[in-house]
Each structure stands twice: as C-alpha cells, then as structure tokens.
C-alpha cells in the first residue's frame, strides 16, 4: 500500500466517547485519526476533523471509518463524500459494512449507494414541490412566517410617525432592528 492509512471518527453529541471507534481504527493499523464531536445539526463546514482529513488526504491514501454513517448526517451527504473520494483516487474502507473501494465489488457497492442517495434527493425535491403546490392551491402560506403581523406593522409605522426611536420600537415588538427596518421598507414599496 503506497498511501497513508487515515482514520475518521465522529460522535453526534459531546457526551459520547470516541474511544470505541479509535480502538477499532487502531486495530486495523490506522495511526492518524481525525475526529469530530458534534452537537445539534451540522454541515460539512462545521466538522473541522472531517474537513482537515479531506484536505490532508491525497491520491493513493485510504480513509478508514468504523461505519459509513460516520461520514455524514444523511445518505446523500455520505454518498457525496464517497463520490468525492473516488474522484480524487482515495480509497474508502468501512469496517462495519465491509466496503472497500480499492476493489471492483467495493466500488460497485459504493456506486449503488450513491445512486440510491441521488434518488433520495430527487424524491425529496419532488415531495417539496408537491407540498408547495398543494399549499398554493389551498391558498396557504409558503415558506417562513412573517416576523410581524399586519397589526404590528401598522403599530410600528404609527410609533415611527410619532417620533419614537426605531431601537425602542423593535424592542417593544420583540424583533431585531434589521427585521423592523426591512419590514417597514417592504410595506412602503
């Protein structure tokens, strides 16, 4: 094996331990492990360990994970990472699933998983579009609700006309000054 054997471990909450994943990675010969402890939802940019690993890894290297799910929060994210690694000539090994993209069978399994992830994304897009269409047909609002009701906007305009400072109006209505300025600007258009 020419390249480096690199590991990645991730836990979803701060109180979980990475020890079990580290032990499994070390047992297969991994000496350099990148890891992340996450809380709440996260994006790839919020995972410094994964970002550092992907930046460090070079063609011919092998990245080892205990489970394929460690690479992301959902199937689509995991598959995009697998595809990126494949395009860069980096091998992926997942211990739990027995996936190894250095051989034809492993690449085929990763390809099937990637296809399923693309299907999942497409189905999600279709469901969102159908939901928007149904809401539109029923005359229901689409998207995020307005921060201020029509009555609150009217009250804000009256207070502004009376000379009350915008920061005071925003505090009284429980919104940021930026929201207040934006809402009043939209109303005057």
pLDDT tens by residue, 21-68: 999 999 999 989 999 987 555 555 678 999 999 999 999 999 999 988
Alpha carbon distance 26, 92 (integer Å)? 16
| CA Rg value for the chain | 25
pLDDT at position 73: 75
More confident residue, 178 or 117: 178
| Token digits of residue 6 | 């690199």
Predicted pLDDT at 45: 60
Q: Which pLDDT does position 167 carry in this prediction? A: 92
Residue 1 clears pLDDT 80, i.e. is over it: no
Residues 6+ apart with CB under 8 A from 173: 148, 152, 155, 156, 180
Name, of 9-18, 71-80, 142-151, the range with top average pLDDT: 142-151
Which of 107, 106, 120 has the alpha carbon at shortest distance from 74?
120
- The rounded mean pLDDT for the chain is 87
Q: Which of 11-20, 70-79, 117-126, 133-142 has the highest mean pLDDT?
A: 133-142
Known catalytic residues are 12
Predicted local confidence at residue 30, as pLDDT: 95
């Amino acid at each position: 094996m020419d390249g480096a054997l690199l590991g990645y471990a991730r836990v979803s909450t701060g109180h979980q331990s990475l020890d079990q994943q580290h032990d499994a990675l070390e047992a297969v010969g991994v000496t350099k492990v990148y890891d992340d402890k996450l809380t709440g939802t996260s994006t790839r940019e919020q995972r410094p360990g994964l970002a550092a690993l992907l930046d460090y890894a070079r063609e011919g290297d092998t990245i080892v994970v205990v489970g394929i799910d460690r690479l992301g929060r959902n199937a689509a994210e995991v598959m995009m990472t697998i595809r990126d690694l494949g395009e860069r000539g980096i091998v992926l090994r997942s211990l739990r699933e027995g996936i190894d993209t250095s051989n034809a069978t492993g690449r085929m399994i990763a390809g099937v998983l990637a296809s399923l992830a693309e299907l999942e994304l497409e189905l999600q897009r279709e469901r969102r579009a159908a939901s928007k269409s149904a809401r539109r047909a029923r005359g229901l609002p689409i998207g995020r609700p307005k921060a201020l009701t029509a009555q609150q906007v009217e009250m804000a305009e009256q207070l502004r006309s009376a000379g009350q400072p915008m920061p005071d109006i925003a505090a009284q209505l429980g919104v940021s000054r930026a929201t207040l300025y934006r809402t009043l600007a939209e109303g005057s258009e």
